[in-house]
Amino acid sequence: MATLIEQHPLYDILTVGQEVIFTVSNTLVVSAFTNVKFSAEVHISSSNPINLSTNNDRVGTFKTTPNNAGVGMFDLRPIIESFAKADNLAREGSAYKGTVNTTESNVPIHLIDKYSGNINTMRYFAIQFYVEYIDAAGDLQITDFRNSENYKIINGYLKHSDDLSLIGNNFGYNINSLFQFFTGSNIRRFLTNAPKTQYANLEDYGTLGMLTTNPSYFPFLINGTVGIELNYFNASGGYLNSEAIYHTQANGAFSYPQSDIQSKILFLGIYPANLQGSSTMFQGFVSAGTIQGGYYNFTVIDQDGFIMSATYTINLNCPTLKGYEPIRLTWLNQWGAWDYYTFNMKSTKTISTKGSTYQQLQGTWNKSSYKIDSFKGGKKAFRVNATEKIKMNTDFVSESESEWFEELINSPEVYILEGFQDDTVNSALNNYVIPVRLTTSSYTKKTVANDKLMQYTFEVEKSKTLRTQSV
């Protein structure tokens, strides 16, 4: 009377935006008994792999009746997707401008010095299946438990153009093949579709997400077996120096084992403002003026210095680039990490107001004599609510950047990210990240063949309305 898991996800990492399909069967029970139901008991963990022999981490039990083929089909995406969310704050053990967070952090993830583990981006999940039915005596029977493997779910989604693999009846998207680092690879990448060559100002913060599920290189994250090698160059392309930043406890690792889900994705503070807060070498280049207009590149390396990823390059804009006020956006990307772009061209800010009015009497009516006050009377604003909109323009962009901007349009979380500040007071941190709503509702993908020189205009609206005084 065996219950079988006939179909399951092909790979052990899934995105919240894809179907999570399981199909179970029990031919004998379905053919012999009535009121048959297949049950799926869902377990989700924010820390260690799930042990289905206990009731720990159980979030619910879901049932379905056999379909015409006699099997029970479950799409568990609607249940699982709500448990993986964006990481907006750094994890304890990370640092901001040299100060380590020893408790729950209020530092935005974008500002970290070197490394931070994830808090919400990834989760473990597993399913226990069983069958229930009414036997010949009219009694309810619950029997034949079957456990799935442990899976991981990441706060991302699949595009229609992303190729699914199929083996037997099982299908899925191989995230590991793109993002899992290993020695000798020069193609594996960070959790982003951004171009590997980007431009940034010295004041620009930002992070890149790293998938750290490879047990060969991440057995215990504080041991420094994996790091980042940075190479610095001046405006003429001349080599300045290099340094390696390994993932150790001193560089943002916390004492968590490899099995902890919060160790499976790291965030790396790698943009110029992050380096100004964390790298003495980079600080020296900035102070001496030798790095302005230059660039730096970086790769993931193992403990012996062997390359484990593609090479990424950050070109540093000159301080007086265009004369316009730069506006840096960050948005949640396809893979649950963060992407960034600084709009250095002309921007326009507009403020619209909306409020209620009332008719005010001109004189005084509750005193011993009537008096006319010139500032009173007529239609008055009771309260004014102000909303700010910003229209931004890109510089000329490449085709890869043009395609990448599609993710900005699709992102559910978009923010304006303020630049580097010397203030390290925690109370000032709310100045860095400003929630906005992208009001640009359509996007035309441009190509060099069709459009020659390509530029884009985007408009955002600050999410928080300014409430003024009431009268």
pLDDT tens digits along 13-31: 999 989 999 999 999 999 9
Host H or E run for residue 437: strand 433-438
Q: Is the pLDDT of residue 325 over 90?
A: no
Q: Is the pLDDT of residue 197 over 90?
A: yes
Mean pLDDT of the region 338-343: 96
Any idea of the CA torsion for 190, 196, 199, 203, to the nearest 10 degrees? 20
Tokens (6 digits) for 271: 């943009």
Mean pLDDT of the region 180-200: 94
The whole-angstrom separation of Cα 265 and Cα 337 is: 9
The whole-angstrom separation of Cα 127 and Cα 334 is: 26
pLDDT tens digits along 415-435: 999 877 666 555 455 668 999
**170-172 and 21-25 strand pairing:** unpaired
Residue 223 burial (10 A CB sphere; 0-12, 13-18, 19+) = middle
Q: Is the pLDDT of residue 92 over 80?
A: yes
pLDDT tens digits along 102-148: 666 678 999 999 999 899 999 999 999 999 999 988 999 998 899 99
Q: Is the pLDDT of residue 337 over 50?
A: yes
Mean pLDDT of the region 351-365: 75
Q: Is the pLDDT of residue 467 over 50?
A: yes
Place of tokens 């092909």: 10
Q: Is the pLDDT of residue 465 over 80?
A: no
Tokens (6 digits) for 386: 């102000």
Domains of the chain plus CATH, in order, are 4-85+121-166 (2.60.40), 179-348+386-467 (no CATH)
**What is the pLDDT confidence band of residue 149, given thresholds at 50, 70 and 90?**
very high
